[in-house]
Amino acid sequence: MALFDGELERGPYGDLKLPSHIRETAAPGNSLDAATPSWLASNVSQARRLGRGQRPRSRLARVLHGVVVIALSLVALRYLVAFSELGAGRGSRGVKVPLRAQEFLDKCSLLEVKAGPPPDFHKRTENDRFVVGSKATLIKNASIWTGNDNGLEVVHGDILLDKGLIKRIGHVRPAELKQYANLERIDAQGKWVSPGIVDLHSHLGVYNVPTLKGAMDVNSHKGPVLPWLRALDGLNTHDDAYKLSIAGGVTSALVLPGSANAIGGQAVVIKLRPPTDRSPTGMLLENPYETNSSVYDPHTHFRYRYMKHACGENPDRVYSGTRMDTIWAFRQAYEKARQIKQAQDDYCAKATKGEWAGLGEFPEDLQWEALVDVLRGRVKVNTHCYETVDLDDLVRITNEFKFSIAAFHHAHETYLVPDTLKSAYGHPPAVAIFATNARYKRESYRGSEFAAKILAENGLQVVMKSDHPVLNSRHLVYEAQQAHFYGLPHNLALASVTTTPATVMGQEHRIGFVKQGHDADLILWDSHPLALGATPQQVWIDGLAQLDAPHLIAKPAFLQKPPKTPNFDREAKEAVRYDGLPPLEPVPAKARTVVFANVSSVYLRQGMNVNEVYSARVDSGSLGVVLVRDGRIECVGSANSACVATAAVGRDAEHIDLEGGAVSPALVTTGSPIGLEEIRSESSTMDGTVLDPLTDKLPALLEEEGAIIRAADGLQFGTRDALIAYRSGVTTAITPPRSNGFLAGLSAAFSTGGRHKLEEGALLQEVGALHVAIHPVGTPSVSTQIAALRRLLLGGTNAESAYAIEQVQKGEIPLAVHVHSADAIASIIALKEEVEAKLNKKIKVTLVGATEAHLLAKKISEAGVGVVVSPTRPFPRNWEQRRLLPGPPLSEKSALAELLAHNVTLGVGVTEAWEARNTRFHIAWAALESDGAISKADAIALASVNVEALLGVKTDGLQQDLVATQGGELLEFSKVVAVISPRRGVVDLIRPTDGLEYQ
């Protein structure tokens, strides 16, 4: 007869107990009396509960607690040894019970415990992250977007914060406030309050900025399957991005290991505020690793853990495999976990019945326990996965091994295969995507700006994420703004960075909503969160204000409402119809005459300026008309002017209703390799990188002749990034040769809508500026690079390079220096003065990049040096960019405003080709945060006439392209519907194919 017969008794906390007939039996000659086992069981259970989180607080109590636990453990050991001997000597009843039987039974009792908060979680009276001594806060007169009712609920009133929690929403009565002696009062003045931003995909703290080798903990390259690794073990509390991200409203983030591995390890959810203990553990939203288990109460609810998976190109590239290899690695790993899980289930089925014969130790493996927990539903799996083939692979894996995926990340082709996602095990994964970042690798080539709209229409959860530092998470709300612009409903757009990621993480019980009892993580915005340029006025994390003396800017009243956005239904259908690659080439209007009606404003280039030449109130009922014939504006006037009569005469005219839109100068992009690449990571689709004379061995022919590379020779027309830029009102690109070193070569200006170099109007200028770069790369040194530039400018070059330098010396073309560091900029200014003194001539110098230029604004202005700021919103990606001027709310001025205040000739650029399309939003944002210092016309000039002048592109303003926008001006969330090209004598229409409707 087995000693354990039948079901085991459960204690008050659900822990399994040894049977009573055994617990109350002592071995002959044992010094323990008959009452001891019950006493022992009770006290061991109590000690165990203390060990799992209910620890005494004082030091003395902790010491005594430790002594008691050790003593009880020794007693338990002695008792179980005696009990085992007893069992062994009882003949037919003798079964050897493991010494750790109660421990194994406890583990068995936890196998079916689910993850998630206990039912009484919201009965808590204070946040577990509450900082003792912090004040309560009352936010009055707010427009509160709560996240409830599918993101449609808005409450106008007050919010009371205390002890790290939201205590009250709506009207707070004075009587409720009497208990607060030191209440902080904030008058929101009707502005918007939302939940804190939740980033579902971040590498904050493990992929640190500034990027330094000593703090690069995002990936391990020790094998394709590493579920035992933890991001917490590499979390750096000194990342410069924390403060910046908080200033953008980010309060929580899921910090993931990188995507080099099929299974890269375990992620952690953090709060971004600096912890009082300054430790990584102190940043955790909920610590899932207490006593090596995931607990609220160890016998009722586990805390969720998180794991990173990746498929496709990344693990294939890192481990030199194929998709077949990666999927086999997944199957191997999950089969190992399945076997352990099955062994545990089988073990416990017997142990709980007292059938100990032959069982031995509880089957477990520390390396694989996290993957076993995935199969038990306690781990939220987040999978880096782009293409249809990879999505299908992982969905099949989930069904084979019966586990769910919380979200597919990046997921550029999910909008093409929503039914595949719906066939995943358990529930459809959410989709965490970028708004417009695509085409940087083959997997992302079919990415669409309409993906969020299409996914939502198919009933899938949409999350906008940063992949920080790929995108600066400070501006994660900008991703939601773009998603809304391209068709995601406003309630789902704001939810995509708040409630939806919180829900996908299983943390909707405490973050992502403005609800009573939730963590006091809130943002007070200066405008509606989906309005372009929306900036936090204050951010609270756990009820603590995070911005000290924030710099506030008054925004126009119309920005307090959700922006009205265009209708992109046809474009979205085209994206799916053409399997992610819809036609993008411009289609010229068939008529010679095009009449644009209901025009609110017209901006034109006049010399080196941009001026508004016509303006009408949208609500006036008398908007204007622009008549274009053969690509040239013939007249602009009001609806009752002669212009209308002229338009009516033209029987061949095509009429386009701008619905209060505008006609403006087309924009110019620079700073990226647009036109030199199709897919950034595929060398066969690129012009390539020029050899650097300071570090590379040049071919003899180039070295002897001193050749200077020309970007014009390597231009690729018809790239998707260029065509998308054209359709977004950016019709000219100024691109230097692609270089990772000192000397790049001569830039070229070209039309982003051109078909080939020999087409009329495609190559606008073959030679622009001479581009060099000064960056601290270690070898060669910055001083060596400056010395090389000095030699170039003062002689000692050969043939072709001598001619280019001569053009710089004569002031015919500018010298464009790509540089960020203020120290290197100072050396450039000093070198300019040296060269000019020796040549007795002025030379043109333009700084490109120039993150730290604001520190030398006065000197730059005095030296007559121009600046192309790129990117427009600074980020300390590298050490040479760390001394940035962040702009509101962290600083009164942005870098752009500071440079303009010193009369520096200024332009703007982007760093990657996909960003060119967003140039109009970048300059609009710059104008909004300048507090009136940058007008709309000035903003357009930043990305048109100024860039051309700074980079040596000579143009006739009358020949330059114009853009017609529908539903608003170029600097608003409007739709580009036409490009007016005087140089080609046509009007290109921006619409899907022929504008046909689809069934």
* Tens digits of residue pLDDT in 848-878: 999 999 999 999 999 999 999 999 999 999 9
Mean pLDDT to the nearest integer, 504-513: 98
CA distance 17 to 362: 16
CA distance 290 to 298: 10
Residues 311 and 234 in one domain: yes
Please calculate the CA angle 869-786-814 and round it to the nearest 5 degrees: 50
Q: Which helix (H) or strand (E) holds 101?
A: helix 101-110
Whether 621 and 741 map to the same domain: the answer is no
- Please name the residue ranges forming H helices in 286-423: 313-318, 323-351, 369-375, 388-401, 418-422
Domain boundary among 560, 591, 611: 560
Write down the pLDDT at residue 777.
Answer: 84
Using CA atoms, how far residue 693 sits from 702, 744, 748, in Å, is 10, 10, 21
Q: Is the pLDDT of residue 722 over 70?
A: yes
Q: Which amino acid is it at 568?
A: F
Q: Is residue 683 part of a domain?
A: yes
Residue 397 carries which side chain, given as an amino acid letter?
Answer: I
Q: Does residue 251 share a domain with residue 342?
A: yes
Taking residues 103-122, report their average pLDDT: 91
Q: What is the pLDDT of residue 52?
A: 38
472 and 512 in a single domain? The answer is: yes
* CATH number of the domain within which 590 lies: 2.30.40
Q: Is 183 within the bounds of a domain?
A: no
pLDDT score for 804: 87
Q: 910 near 671, Cβ under 8 Å?
A: yes
Q: What's the CATH code of the domain at 231?
A: 3.20.20.140
Of 491, 492, 662, 659, nearest in space to 566 by CA: 659
Bond from prior residue into 288 cis (ω within 30 degrees of 0): no
Cβ atoms 555, 527 nearer than 8 A: yes
Residue 784 domain-assigned (yes or no):
yes
Residue 96 domain flag: no
For the cut 50, the answer to whether the pLDDT of residue 671 exceeds it is yes
Of 117, 104, 171, the closest CA to residue 144 belongs to: 171
Residue 51 pLDDT > 70:
no
Nearest 5°: the CA angle 965, 968, 969 is 70
179 is a domain residue: no
Mean pLDDT of all residues belonging to the chain: 88
If you count them, how many residues does the chain have?
999
Which of 32-36, 534-538, 782-786, 873-877 is predicted least confidently?
32-36
Is 547 within 8 Å of 134 (Cβ atoms)? Answer: no
- Examine the domain organization and report whether 706 and 761 are in the same domain: yes
Residue 894 DSSP label: B
Q: What pLDDT is recorded for position 693?
A: 85
What string of DSSP letters covers 145-202?
E--HHHHT-EEEEEEEEETTEEEEEEPPPGGGGTT-SS-EEEE-TT-EEEEPEEEEEE
Q: Which range (55-59, 592-596, 918-922) has the least confidence?
A: 55-59
Same domain, 344 and 251: yes
Q: Which of 15-29, 48-62, 488-502 has the highest mean pLDDT?
A: 488-502
Is 734 within a domain? yes
pLDDT of residue 730: 98
Q: Is 465 helix (H, G, I), strand (E, B) or coil?
A: coil
Distances (CA, A) of 141 to 138, 159, 163, 948: 10, 9, 21, 48
Q: Looking at the predicted structure, is the pLDDT value of residue 638 above 60?
A: yes
Q: Dihedral (C-alpha) 968, 971, 972, 974: value to the nearest 10 degrees?
A: 50
Prior bond of 556 cis (ω within 30°): no
719 touches 756 (CB < 8 A)? no
Say if residue 331's pLDDT is above 80.
Answer: yes
| Unique residue bearing structure tokens 């099955």 | 342
CA distance 977 to 727: 8
Domain that holds residue 275: 197-288+302-560
Angle (deg, nearest 10), helices 323-351 and 101-110 = 120
Kindly report the backbone phi and psi dihedral angles of residue 610, in degrees, each rounded to the nearest multiple of 5, phi listed first: -115, 130
Q: pLDDT of 675-717, one tens digit each?
A: 999 999 999 999 999 988 888 887 766 666 667 899 999 999 9
CA distance 465 to 46: 44
Query: Which H or E element spans position 104?
Result: helix 101-110
More confident residue, 122 or 386: 386
The dihedral built from the CA positions of residue 961, 962, 966 and 970, taken in this order, carries a sign that is: positive
What distance in Å separates the CA atoms of residue 461 and residue 463, rounded to the nearest whole number? 7
**Alpha carbon distance 219, 207 (integer Å):** 9
What the block records as the tokens of 820 is 């960020």
What pLDDT digit, counting tens, does each position of 397-452 carry? 999 999 999 999 999 999 999 999 999 999 999 999 999 999 999 999 999 999 99
So what's the pLDDT on residue 622? Answer: 79
In tens, the pLDDT along 151-183 reads 999 999 999 999 999 999 999 999 889 999 899
Are 708 and 774 part of one and the same domain?
Answer: yes
Residue 914 gets which letter from DSSP?
G
Residue 340 has pLDDT above 90, yes or no: yes
Tell me if 927 is assigned to some domain: yes
Which is nearest to 38 in space by CA: 65, 68, 17, 13? 17
What is the per-residue pLDDT for 732?
97
Q: Give the pLDDT confidence score for residue 643 in this predicted structure.
A: 74
> What is the count of structural domains for the chain?
3
Is a pLDDT exceeding 90 seen at residue 2? Answer: no
Dihedrals phi, psi of 611, to nearest 5 degrees: -130, 145
DSSP single-letter state for residue 691: P
In 400-513, beta strands by DSSP E: 407-410, 430-433, 462-464
**721 and 608 within one domain:** no
- What is the pLDDT at residue 93? 55
pLDDT digits (tens, 9 = 90+) for 939-992: 999 999 999 999 999 987 678 999 999 999 999 999 999 999 999 999 999 988
The pLDDT of residue 613 is: 92
622 three-state secondary structure? coil
pLDDT at 263 over 70: yes
Cis before 469 (ω within 30)? yes
Contacts of 49 (CB under 8 A, 6+ apart): 13, 298
Candidates 630, 635, 625, 621; CA nearest to 596 is 625
Share of the chain above pLDDT 90, in %: 78
Q: Which residue has the higher pLDDT, 383 or 37?
A: 383
Name residues whose C-beta falls within 8 Å of residue 981's C-beta, 6 or more positions apart in sequence: 631, 731, 761, 961, 987, 988
738 versus 16: the higher-pLDDT residue is 738
Question: Which range is least confidently modeled, 184-188, 454-458, 621-625?
Answer: 621-625
**Residue 701: what pLDDT?**
62
| Predicted pLDDT at 6 | 35
pLDDT of amino acid 997: 42
Instruction: Tell me the C-alpha to C-alpha distance, in Å, between residue 246 and each of 76, 134, 548.
Output: 51, 19, 12
Instruction: Burial-class residue 657 by CB neighbours within 10 Å (0-12, 13-18, 19+).
Output: middle
Residues 925, 971, single domain; the answer is no
pLDDT of residue 706: 66
Q: Are both 686 and 640 inside the same structural domain?
A: no
Same domain, 347 and 279: yes
On whether residue 147 sits in a domain, the answer given is no
Are 340 and 404 found together in one domain?
yes
Q: What is the pLDDT of residue 251?
A: 98
Token pair 């417009």: residue:
436
**pLDDT of the residue at 798:** 64
| Mean pLDDT computed over 879-890 | 97
pLDDT at 602: 96
